[in-house]
């Protein structure tokens, strides 16, 4: 990477920036900083990039660590896909379109119209058979009221989403059969228990904004290729150094002249840096923060963010049982289910080809410690109740993956615990979907945090006199 040259002055040595953490936040920050001319080193403790959005190989089967989708309103994430050259491999629906199944062969289709938002969903909601006529009529009440809710108001963050909905005529049935479809998967917490502020961000941006804001995008490649491999390729082109299996033990202010930080590695050695982006989960960031970097009690308060698990149940049948790329379910332990046959490398010709379904269970506290055999006893019959073809199909493989700390717990009060990007120590910034992005803990939130970290760091480097 060539040095940047100031007009009329001598060549400047690029700022040495160490990015700790190779998830979406770290990848995004590293790309943005490398593009600006910084000398970037990205450190990732795992053997691959991608963080919570990576893949692994299981006896020849490509398995994503979790099933992730995005929406049309996820502009920052879509911008990252464009930079990585992956837009074509993560297509969006032409229109929001979700089929909702219930046991006994019942199903409904929620498909938006071309009407402008928020009118685009009204026809589908008016026909939604899992709610009574009065319940459908009352759906508009919280939808209209939500437009007046300010997610940035600290008082809003203290309220439970379920209490707010109930006060506006939403019955228990309406909350479970409709509102949970969106809030549980987006916020990874039981719908009633979610922070109203974060729920309002989801509803106002995704459902009440532009008519294409909630159109769903699903990766057509394994996430490891979509994010990790593509990120590593782009960073190499930009001249950044990526070190895998590099666990950081400490970030310390440097005592030597010319250095601002020393990033110490658990396996020995250290990396001098002018600036550091700390892009790891809050529980891993806490022990790495140098004293005096944040106001007293801030790091200890991060423990209050907690964690919410996601469990993924993987079922492989000897034949196709679901004709859709994905579907939702109500009145069932199944929440969302995805056809991963082609993406995993199992696709083949003929009606007798196998089908690989992955059930994504958000807010999975009740499942995270349940043995796989017991989950099989529950979810194989549950799928058969939703998809009649599964009753005659043979399960050839069943396994479970668990993300015990998939997100922070997005409950009332969490907003006050989320830190800003900047710290008291110039040159050290925070990134990650758990920081104060204004968004839930999602891929979009992670990318936004990485962009914010790069912007803040470039401004910080100017302030302390380090060339950008």
> For residue range 373-414, what is the model confidence (pLDDT) as tens digits?
999 999 999 999 999 999 999 999 999 999 999 999 999 999
What's the average pLDDT block by block, 10 residues per block, for the chain (468 residues)?
40 87 98 97 97 91 92 97 98 96 95 91 93 94 92 97 97 97 96 97 90 95 96 98 97 81 95 96 95 91 96 97 97 98 80 90 98 98 97 97 97 97 95 97 98 94 59
Which positions ≥6 away from 88 have C-beta within 8 Å? none
> What tokens were used for 174?
């309406």
CATH architecture label of 113-211: Orthogonal Bundle (1.10)
Give the closest residue to 211 by CA, choosing from 120, 305, 284, 148. 120
- Predicted pLDDT at 4: 42
CATH class of the domain defined by 308-407: alpha beta
CA distance 293 to 310: 32
pTM of the model: 0.94
Intervals of CATH 3.50.50.60 along the chain: 4-53+223-305+411-463
Distance of CA 289 to the CA centre of its chain: 24
| Every domain range in the chain assigned CATH 3.90.660.10 | 308-407
Provide the pLDDT for residue 350: 58
C-alpha separations of 90 from 202, 215, 298, 322 in Å? 21, 12, 38, 21
- Which residue ranges does the chain devote to CATH 1.10.405? 113-211
Q: Chain centroid to CA 370: how far?
A: 24
- pLDDT, residue 65, reads 87
Q: Are 87 and 212 in contact (CB under 8 A)?
A: no
Helix axes 75-84, 443-463, angle to 10 degrees: 80
pLDDT digits (tens, 9 = 90+) for 51-103: 999 899 998 899 998 899 999 999 999 999 999 999 999 999 999 999 999 99
d(CA 32, CA 30): 6
Rounded to whole angstroms, the Cα distance separating 143 from 124 reads 14
Backbone torsions φ then ψ of 325, nearest 5 degrees: -70, -30
| Kind and range of the H or E run holding 80 | helix 75-84
CB 430, CB 8: distance < 8 Å: no
Reduce the DSSP state of residue 102 to 3 states and report it: strand
Report DSSP letters for 376-407, one per residue. HHHHHHHHHHH-GGGGTSPEEEEEEEEEEEEE
pLDDT at 9: 46
Question: What is residue 60's predicted lDDT score, i.e. its pLDDT?
Answer: 86
18 phi/psi in degrees, rounded to 5 = -105, 125
pLDDT computed for residue 259 by the predictor? 76
pLDDT of residue 3: 39
DSSP class of 38: -
Question: Which CATH code for domain 4-53+223-305+411-463?
Answer: 3.50.50.60
- Distance CA(156)–CA(354), nearest Å, equals 48
Distance CA 191, CA 179 (A): 7
Give residue 311's region: left, alpha or beta (phi > 0; psi -120 to 50): beta
Whole-angstrom distance, CA of residue 167 vs CA of residue 161: 10
């Amino acid at each position: 990477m060539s040095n940047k040259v100031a007009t009329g002055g001598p060549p400047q040595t690029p700022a040495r920036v160490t990015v700790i953490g190779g998830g979406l936040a770290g990848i995004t920050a590293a790309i943005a900083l490398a593009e600006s001319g910084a000398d970037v080193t990205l450190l990732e403790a795992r053997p691959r990039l991608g963080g919570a959005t990576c893949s692994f190989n299981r006896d020849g089967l490509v398995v994503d660590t979790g099933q992730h989708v995005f929406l049309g309103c996820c502009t920052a994430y879509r911008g990252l896909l464009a930079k990585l050259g992956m837009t074509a491999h993560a297509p969006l629906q032409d229109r929001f379109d979700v089929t909702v199944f219930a046991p006994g062969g019942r199903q409904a289709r929620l498909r938006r119209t071309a009407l402008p938002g928020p009118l685009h969903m009204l026809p589908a909601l008016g026909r939604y058979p899992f709610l009574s006529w009065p319940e459908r009529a009352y759906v508009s009440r919280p939808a209209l009221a939500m437009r007046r809710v300010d997610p940035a108001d600290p008082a809003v963050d203290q309220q439970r989403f379920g209490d707010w909905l109930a006060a506006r005529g939403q019955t228990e049935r309406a909350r479970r059969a409709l509102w949970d479809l969106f809030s549980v998967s987006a916020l990874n917490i039981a719908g009633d228990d979610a922070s109203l502020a974060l729920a309002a961000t989801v509803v106002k941006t995704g459902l009440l904004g532009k008519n294409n804001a909630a159109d769903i995008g699903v990766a057509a490649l394994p996430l490891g290729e979509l994010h990790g491999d593509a990120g590593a390729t782009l960073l190499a082109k930009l001249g950044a150094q990526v070190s895998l299996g590099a666990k950081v033990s400490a970030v310390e202010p440097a005592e030597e002249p010319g250095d601002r930080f020393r990033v110490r590695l658990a396996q020995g050695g250290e990396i001098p840096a002018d600036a550091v982006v700390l892009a790891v989960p809050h529980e891993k960031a806490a022990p790495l923060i140098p004293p005096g970097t944040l106001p007293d009690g801030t790091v200890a308060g991060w423990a209050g963010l907690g964690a919410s698990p996601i469990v993924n149940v993987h079922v492989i049948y000897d034949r196709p049982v679901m004709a859709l790329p994905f579907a939702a379910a109500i009145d069932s332990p199944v929440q969302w289910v995805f056809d991963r046959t082609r993406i995993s490398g199992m696709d083949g010709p003929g009606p007798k080809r196998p089908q690989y379904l992955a059930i994504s269970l958000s807010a999975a506290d009740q499942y995270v410690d349940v043995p796989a055999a017991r989950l099989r006893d529950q979810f194989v019959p549950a799928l058969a109740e939703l998809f009649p073809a599964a009753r005659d199909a043979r399960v050839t493989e069943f396994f479970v993956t668990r993300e015990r700390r998939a997100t922070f717990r997005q409950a009332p009060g969490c907003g006050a615990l989320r830190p800003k990007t900047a710290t008291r120590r110039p040159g050290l910034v925070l990134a990650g979907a758990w920081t104060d992005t204004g968004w839930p803990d999602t891929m979009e939130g992670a990318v936004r945090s990485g962009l914010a970290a790069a912007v803040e760091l470039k401004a910080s480097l100017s302030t302390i006199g380090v060339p950008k």
